[in-house]
Structure 1
């Protein structure tokens, strides 16, 4: 057993080190690190610097015992990964150094040896005996400072108020809520569902609320659920690299049952994205659950590599739409009730709530801001909350009545997304039904919502003639008058473009 001081162990004459396959005149080098250095140089050249640093930087040589080359690694995960992917190549490289040798991997612990060990092998003095291992010495240097691995077990801070019980439902978020609830209610040890689940929406529409609700509900069912912002994931990985504990970081993340990542659009840096991709693949391949939220769909995360976007798009992608007025009113009522518990006597008349719901933004943060204004005016000036007071308190939050200037690019983007085609499809010469309808509707909206002339619109739609645009406008006008379903679609698109 190795100790922290120098230990000498005499090995019987039967323990030999066979000649190196490419040996020098002497046939054997006294220091086993010479073999290991050559093996590592060749391995690094074969697999590349990045892969080598990710998986082999912390592999150490414990010693050479007869035909067995003992290498150690700091984690079980790393041992299993090398066994699965590189053990044959390691055996081949070592055989070129020591004929007939084989590699044995182990997980090193503080009990077996302390940090900084240097294995030393010396030859027998008699030249008539086989080249053999006369002694093994383990020289231990001063203990190194332990690497500090960022603790991700607790994840990013959670808000105890963000549960499924406090989430308000409407037509804009019902599907996202149902999918999140299904994931959260999966039993411990059960298969992943909708993997990965990817939620996207503009700010303030409830993405983070659903993610934290998944964490709270999943933990109650015995699952190891961790919630991380993209910033926290980046910080953890970079800190692990600096402290030379990247492998421990990887093992820590990949032992999670459900990994929840918020604000993925902020994930930056090539090495961080590659590690995220490896983590994503590893967790999904082992049946673990991934839940991700961002402010746009995977296809529009231009900063991410294509393979990451593709893997994310392969799961269930759900958009949370803008809150409708009824849902905004329900959210306001629940927030007023919560504020009344903290500030007894605080109440807001129904006509004021309706005014705020109709005029003060379309997301939860806008609504919170308006209520905070009312609370401040009520508490600090002792003024009663009336419609007149509310109009004064939130006047800078009220949406402008001036219509938004609509661009043809906005129309193309929204129509393409609504009909699940691409912008290139609409501008192409294709004449299949699934492309012609969106193209004609987009031309109609361009004529109705912009000041561009027919020839200008034709040029923006792939260089078409103005008569083509006129035909599309007249056709959609006729269909809207007779087809109520199409009329509803067009009105929805008008609203989306004008928002």
Structure 2
């Protein structure tokens, strides 16, 4: 991509961030990338079909307006899904019909037909009826991973797993990596996949998010091809499952069967989630025991030295891309001390400062950082609330088992606490409505929205309920 196009897109992203707000931008646009500009057409890409469809349906006009403010010649946008970390100009958009040669994502296998072997890394474009893994990010490799005390053990194990897999061997099995959001789990899983498949393109290495795993399973059942799906899973040499906490229902049961089969067949399995295996209540005891019986590694919150190393590396990468850009040591120190939430916020802080510099021409200083990073710095003052914390507090306060909050029970003594928990999740976390719904037993985002609105209505009429919820908020924020 030409330098002028790159800078125009960076400025357009900055405008988009202002237009939609930080939370919306982080949820839907953080992984939106410009591939190329051809005459009046801007070709953008995202890593998943769901993200592509959502942006197409809800934000296309805002993106085009932000782009046109920087480049009036842009009249059309084309958004595609990155396949294996790459977007191809000829790919059909996520909502369009695609031919066999240029399908942006593999469709479900036809009934009675065995799926083609799914490679997340290499090979020719997949047939339209093939199964595949989730798209990998080419930037997430061992070379770009910044290590420190908080993650050095996880990094060491990840490298051992990748090395063993590259030599058709199995090391610790299964490996389960857990931490709170933004501390590098996804980065390590991507890095393992890239390193393990670098020397042998015939290796069947599959990286799947929990959402993608469920999508494949549900569509296979729908099209009466569950046996073909299971057979595809059992042919995998190295399986990497991300965001394990989102796996729900029968898909979780199928994962348990897959896990046992692959391990019994000496195939490597690596799983990442935001809590320890014992806390994954959507899995049965046998599967939790199998995960706990492998190598379980917790990644800790970043200390100041690791945060500084991350900010310095990201700043160096930005300075290599943009002529004349400089990050003084004082700014590096300020960002690393002020932004303490997680790694994605550190990356976002550097990106914002680069965008502000390119958009306004103002040099990168502590003053610019204070103006640009206000919300990220405020996050330091308020402890991050997790949905898991909300479930525990609400369960204890209302004397309702946590499993009931996630169940389909409709009795009033369960429904009201569940609605309050969803309201608190929306009010106190940065999770989107679909994410909250998934954490509450796989519910639809409209159910979450109804719950939030219901509690807001009740609070406007019931002072006692309002006081009760304020008490819960204080308990969660302590």
Number of the residue aligned with 1:203: 181
Tell me if structure 2 keeps the 8 A contact 1:150–1:236: no
Return the offset for 1:145.
7.4
Q: How does 1:157-168 map to 2 (within 5 A)?
A: 157-168=135-146
Number of the residue aligned with 1:227: 207
Partners of 1:145 and 1:394 lie apart in 2 by 52
Unmatched segments (≥5 aa) in structure 1: 1-143, 414-496
Asked which structure has the greater CA Rg, the reply is 1
Q: How does 1:319-468 map to 2 (within 5 A)?
A: 319-399=298-378
3-state DSSP of counterpart to 1:237: helix
Number of the residue aligned with 1:175: 153
Number of the residue aligned with 2:226: 246
Partners of 1:150 and 1:173 lie apart in 2 by 36
TM-score normalised over the length of structure 1: 0.50
Number of the residue aligned with 2:119: 153
Q: 1:266 aligns with which of 228, 246, 257?
A: 246
3-state DSSP of counterpart to 2:164: coil
Return the offset for 1:221.
3.9
Q: Residues 197 and 288 of structure 1: is their aligned pair in 2 closer, same or farther, counting only changes over 3 Å?
A: same
Give CA deviations for 1:252-272 in whole Å, capped at 9, x if unaligned. 111111100000100011x21
Return the offset for 1:187.
5.0
Give CA deviations for 1:387-420 in whole Å, capped at 9, x if unaligned. 12211221222146758699xx99xx9xxxxxxx
Partners of 1:197 and 1:145 lie apart in 2 by 34
Q: Residues 256 and 325 of structure 1: is their aligned pair in 2 closer, same or farther, counting only changes over 3 Å?
A: same
Tell me if structure 2 keeps the 8 A contact 1:205–1:322: yes
Tell me if structure 1 keeps the 8 A contact 2:207–2:241: yes
Return the offset for 1:191.
3.7
Partners of 2:346 and 2:372 lie apart in 1 by 13
Q: Residues 401 and 252 of structure 1: is their aligned pair in 2 closer, same or farther, counting only changes over 3 Å?
A: closer
Give CA deviations for 1:6-62 in whole Å, capped at 9, x if unaligned. xxxxxxxxxxxxxxxxxxxxxxxxxxxxxxxxxxxxxxxxxxxxxxxxxxxxxxxxx
Tell me if structure 2 keeps the 8 A contact 1:265–1:295: yes
Matched, 1:300 2:279: yes
Partners of 2:380 and 2:253 lie apart in 1 by 46
Q: 1:185 aligns with which of 163, 169, 175?
A: 163
Return the offset for 1:235.
0.6
Partners of 2:149 and 2:375 lie apart in 1 by 29
Give CA deviations for 1:268-297 in whole Å, capped at 9, x if unaligned. 11x212211110000000100000000111
Q: Residues 398 and 311 of structure 1: is their aligned pair in 2 closer, same or farther, counting only changes over 3 Å?
A: same
